[in-house]
Structure 1
Amino acid sequence: MPKKALFHRNRTKSFAWAIPVILVGAAFPAEAADINGSSARGDGNARVRIAPCGAEICAVNTWIKPGTPKEKEGDKLVMSIKEDSEGSYSGTAFDPQRDLSYKLTVRVDGARMTTKGCVIAGLICKGVVWTRMN
């Protein structure tokens, strides 16, 4: 699948990283729909830890497969999201490494989490599937 371009401040940037940095947690939480914890991205190229950070929720890359472009350990995504219903979250996310914001939805279903981030008024979106790690 070809990479899509993201236009921001009159510059073109890769959107391929948009959600990888975003989301997913450590051991199984007490509540099945809890967003906090550690997860592995479906393509096997990243692992993240999701936890509260101040009034927000942060997803921090804890491991990146060597050679994965545009991502590194420690990259953070700051999410301003609220739970809409059991296991469904929505709001916005800010990537301080790239100075980008986008609309975010997250669906947690047992050990599986799906994230979807959109930019340019929802015209360009990318979804990522994550699996919780023990």
Structure 2
Amino acid sequence: MTRRFRIVAAALAALTTAPLAMAQSAGSPEGIWLTQAGDAKVRVGRCGAGICGVVVWLKEPIDPQTGKPQVDDKNPNPALARRPIIGLSLFSGMRPSGPNRWSGQIYNADDGKTYASNISVSGPGTLKVEGCVGSLCGGEEWSRSSR
């Protein structure tokens, strides 16, 4: 095997295993994250070839007006507006899109809408979460939580 062929073969092998390596690296988004406002925790984990994010904790799990668990009442679909916020899936179609970066969609329970989204690990304890409408993006930084 020539040196050039070995280099090309090694590069191809790295490209085909890159998504798996990203998920297993120190820059993995897997774990529990506290939102920037500190009002919710989201468990991020593998979901097929991508990642999923599910609400696992709320600072105020009980709606003060109804005395019942918080529900997805901003959702325009009446059938979905009754689902509990705890257990709600926020990420969909999140696939690797670069080193420590995933792209897909994010559901915003504050307005009941789904947006194009990017998430990236920007440090050992920081997850940058962006939602986009066209070319305009807004985001926040979530911090890694021990529980």
Q: Report TM bin, short chain.
A: 0.5 to 0.7
Q: Any idea what SS the aligned residue of 1:76 has?
A: coil
Map Cα deviations across residues 105-124 of structure 1 (whole Å, 9 max, x no partner): 112021111110112x234x
* Structure with the higher fraction of residues in helix conformation: 2
Name the amino acid aligned to 1:127: G
Q: CA deviation at 1:84?
A: 3.4
Q: CA deviation at 1:55?
A: 4.1
* Structure with the higher fraction of residues in strand conformation: 1
Name the amino acid aligned to 2:100: G
1:27-106 to structure 2, matched below 5 A, reads 31-66=25-60, 72-89=85-102, 91-95=103-107, 100-106=113-119
1:127 is aligned to 2:146: no
Structure 1: distance between partners of 2:106 and 2:37: 23
1:113 is aligned to 2:144: no
Closer/same/farther in 2, CA of residues 132 and 96 from structure 1, 3 Å limit: closer
Percentage of matched positions with identical amino acids: 25
Closer/same/farther in 2, CA of residues 47 and 82 from structure 1, 3 Å limit: same
- Which of the pair has more CA radius of gyration? 2
Structure 2: distance between partners of 1:128 and 1:74: 21
**Structure 1: unaligned runs, 5 residues or longer:** 1-28
* TM-score, normalised by the number of residues in structure 2: 0.56
Pairwise CA RMSD: 3.0
Map Cα deviations across residues 44-79 of structure 1 (whole Å, 9 max, x no partner): 101010112334421100011215987621111233
Name the amino acid aligned to 1:113: L
